[in-house]
């Protein structure tokens, strides 16, 4: 990393002298404080290693966008930025959709392409590995399992993955509100199913009269959506132990930030689920972290890959929650980078908050491509370049950059040839990933799923049963009672039997109200009991 604030050289070796316009651009990146080196300025077809393009470390909590067509180098840009953040002691979260970011835990391999790129941009390249942890949603794939309880996931996010319309989303919110106030913990999907079934029974309807009620038709849609969701193998994502997102805020013993890599190849065919789950992780951080205002460096930088999936078919309430979360989480020291193909994939209210931009090449093969290119150019400040021409002519590993300066003002738009990452540019093999996962101090805490007593089990109790069974905080799935091992048809039948007896009504009124009072919900309707 460069630490000099001196003006860049006007005549770097091997390149013609910079004209005045280019010198003005280069001077806009000569920051005095700590900064990340992105690459070197491109001007008139030449790369100028004496004119580095950088981004100040303190402004990385002001959010950013990394965009570009497939194959233009977005993943390597992620890797390059993550390495330098880690080296500066900043923890990083990466969503690895394609499975090719795990190499950050191993030193890179020098070859002619790496040496050539380093020489072009004035980089003193040395191989290096960075401290990394690997996670997997629900334990599907190679990684420490990341789970959420249904209660903490909340109605807004769950409505998105269940594809509910706004009316159905409001009804689901009513169901969550009822469970919260009655202290009924929704740990997994069968808990939610049990509560919905009760609230549509003759006795359950009276519970909701004072707050709006729940129509049988809407409840039926929610139950059918849950059934389809479970049939797609989604049950593993919800349950306990719930992941504590504070685990993303760690540093290694040598002071470098830990890079948390969420491995998503095993669920890349479930884009709505994993993109919404990423939003839950971000919302949970927002819910828990205290305000710190502007700091010398971010507390965490969160890279949100395939960001367009988050916004597809999103409700107005969902988009509003995203906008407010992104706006407010900056003051908690968290920077968010959205990674997608074009800026138009991100709603304008969110895009306006992304002060740091790395735009890789765009293609203009079709009329729609040309519209996207024109729209992208309009999102940049005025520039000394013909951006439409530059953006279609960039090579792999080149980008148009603009960042916020140390004072918060936009730096000039700079075409940039990017540096080469120092870690391995490719995936680890399965054995290497599994070895890294087992060596993690978090593995033992999250590896084994548990299924303790919650709303569904309370529904299934019979008089006198609790006196015979010792009360335990957690019970492994392998030791659950026969009741929990019943087939789905038998489970549903049991629910119907119990709600018709009226036993649930008395339990709901008498059990767990203290827990219910301790549940608070954030902008996204996510919740976590106070720690």
Q: What is the DSSP string of 3-66?
A: ---SPPPSS-TTSPPPPHHHHHHHHTT--SS-EEEEEEEEETTEEEEEEEEEEEGGGGGG-EEE
Same domain, 264 and 350: yes
Chain-centre distance for alpha carbon 324 = 16
Same domain, 208 and 351: no
Same domain, 340 and 400: yes
**Per-residue pLDDT tens over the stretch 260-318:** 999 988 887 888 888 889 889 988 888 889 998 788 999 999 998 888 888 887 778 78
Same domain, 225 and 335: no
Same domain, 307 and 424: yes
Same domain, 170 and 120: no
∠ CA 55-61-67, rounded to 5°: 65
- Is 200 a domain residue? yes
- Is 219 a domain residue? yes
From 438, 470, 498, give the residue that closes a domain.
438
Same domain, 227 and 247: no
Q: Tell me what pLDDT residue 529 has.
A: 52
Count up the domains in the chain and report the number: 2
Same domain, 192 and 253: no
- Is 5 a domain residue? no
Same domain, 235 and 246: no
Q: Is the pLDDT of residue 464 over 50?
A: no
User: Whole-angstrom Cα distance, residue 138 to residue 285?
Assistant: 19
In DSSP notation, 154-171 reads: HHHHHHHHHT--HHHHHH
From 438, 469, 501, give the residue that closes a domain.
438
Find the mean pLDDT for residues 178-189: 87
Q: Tell me what pLDDT residue 523 has.
A: 64
Q: Tell me what pLDDT residue 386 has.
A: 94
Q: Tell me what pLDDT residue 499 has.
A: 45
State the CATH number of the domain containing residue 40: 3.40.50.300
Q: Tell me what pLDDT residue 112 has.
A: 94
Same domain, 304 and 427: yes
Strand order in the sheet with 414-418: 46-56, 35-43, 414-418, 398-402, 356-359, 64-67, 334-340, 300-304, 92-96, 259-263, 132-137, 144-146
- Is 97 a domain residue? yes
From 410, 438, 466, give the residue that closes a domain.
438
Q: Tell me what pLDDT residue 469 has.
A: 37
Same domain, 343 and 394: yes
Helices (H), 363-487: 367-378, 387-393, 430-438, 443-446, 455-460, 465-468
Domain housing 277? 32-146+240-438
Query: For residue 467, with 0-12 CB atoms within 10 Å meaning exposed, 13-18 middle and 19 or more buried, which class applies?
Result: exposed
Tokens representing residue 375 in the block: 């729209």
* Lowest mean pLDDT, pick from 70-79, 203-212, 502-511: 502-511
Which of these, 281, 285, 238, lies nearest to 261 by C-alpha position? 281
* Lowest mean pLDDT, pick from 42-46, 121-125, 456-460: 456-460
Cβ atoms 161, 313 nearer than 8 A? no
- Is 447 a domain residue? no
3-state secondary structure 178-238: HHHHHCCCCCCHHHHHHHHHHHCCHHHHHHHHHHCCCCHHHHHHHHHHHHHHHHCCCHHHE
Greater pLDDT, 188 or 201? 188
In DSSP notation, 310-344 reads: HHTT--HHHHHHHHHHHHHHGGGTEEEEEEES-GG
- Is 464 a domain residue? no
- Is 467 a domain residue? no
Same domain, 104 and 218: no
**Per-residue pLDDT tens over the stretch 486-531:** 444 444 444 454 444 443 443 443 333 334 344 667 666 787 654 4
Q: Which residues, at least 6 apart from 333, have a Cβ–Cβ distance to it below 8 Å?
A: 61, 289, 292, 295, 298, 299, 300
- Is 9 a domain residue? no
């Amino acid at each position: 990393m460069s630490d000099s604030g001196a003006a860049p050289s006007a005549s770097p070796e091997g390149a013609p002298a910079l004209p005045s316009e280019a010198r003005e651009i280069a001077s806009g990146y000569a920051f005095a404080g700590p900064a990340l080196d992105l690459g070197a300025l491109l001007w008139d077809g030449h790369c100028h290693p004496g004119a580095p393009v950088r981004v100040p470390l303190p402004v990385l909590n002001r959010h950013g966008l990394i965009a570009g067509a497939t194959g233009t180098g977005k993943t390597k840009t992620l890797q390059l930025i993550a390495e330098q953040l880690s080296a500066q002691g900043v923890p990083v979260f990466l969503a690895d959709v394609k499975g090719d970011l795990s190499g950050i835990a191993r030193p890179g391999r020098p070859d002619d392409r790496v040496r050539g790129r380093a020489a072009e941009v004035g980089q003193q390249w040395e191989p290096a590995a960075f401290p990394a942890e690997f996670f997997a949603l629900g334990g599907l794939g190679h990684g420490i399992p990341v789970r959420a309880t249904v209660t903490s996931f909340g109605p807004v996010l769950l409505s998105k993955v269940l594809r509910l319309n706004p009316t159905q989303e409001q009804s689901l919110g009513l169901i969550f509100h009822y469970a919260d106030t009655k202290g009924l913990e929704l740990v997994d999907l069968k808990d939610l199913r049990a509560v919905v079934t009760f609230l549509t029974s003759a006795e359950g309807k009276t519970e909701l009269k004072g707050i709006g009620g729940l129509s049988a038709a809407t409840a039926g849609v929610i139950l059918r959506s849950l059934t389809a969701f479970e049939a797609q193998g989604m049950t593993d994502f919800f349950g306990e132990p719930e992941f504590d997102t504070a685990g993303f805020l760690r540093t290694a013993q040598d002071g470098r930030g830990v890079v948390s890599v969420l491995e998503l190849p095993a669920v890349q065919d479930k884009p709505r689920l994993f993109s919404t789950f990423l939003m839950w992780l971000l919302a949970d951080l927002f819910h828990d972290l205290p305000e710190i205002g502007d700091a010398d460096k971010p507390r965490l930088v969160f890279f949100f890959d395939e960001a367009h999936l988050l916004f597809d078919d999103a409700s107005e309430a969902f988009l509003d929650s995203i906008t407010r979360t992104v706006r407010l989480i900056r003051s908690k020291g968290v920077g968010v980078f959205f990674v997608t193909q074009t800026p138009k994939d991100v709603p304008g209210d969110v895009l306006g908050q992304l002060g740091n931009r790395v735009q890789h090449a765009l293609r203009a093969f079709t009329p729609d491509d040309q519209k996207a290119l024109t729209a992208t150019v309009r999102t940049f400040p005025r520039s000394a370049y013909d951006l439409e021409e530059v953006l279609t002519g960039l090579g792999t590993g080149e980008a148009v950059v603009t960042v916020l300066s140390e004072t918060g003002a936009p730096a000039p738009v700079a075409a940039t040839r990017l540096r080469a990452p120092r870690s391995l540019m490719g995936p680890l093999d399965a054995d290497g990933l599994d070895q890294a996962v087992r060596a993690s101090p978090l593995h033992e805490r999250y590896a084994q799923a548990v299924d303790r007593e919650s709303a569904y089990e309370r529904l299934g109790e019979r008089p006198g049963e609790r006196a015979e069974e010792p009360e335990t905080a957690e019970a492994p799935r392998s030791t659950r009672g026969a009741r929990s091992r019943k087939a789905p048809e038998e489970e549903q039948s049991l629910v119907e039997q119990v709600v018709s007896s009226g036993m649930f009504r008395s339990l709901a009124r008498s059990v767990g109200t203290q827990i219910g009072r301790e549940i608070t919900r954030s902008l996204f309707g996510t919740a976590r009991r106070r720690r």
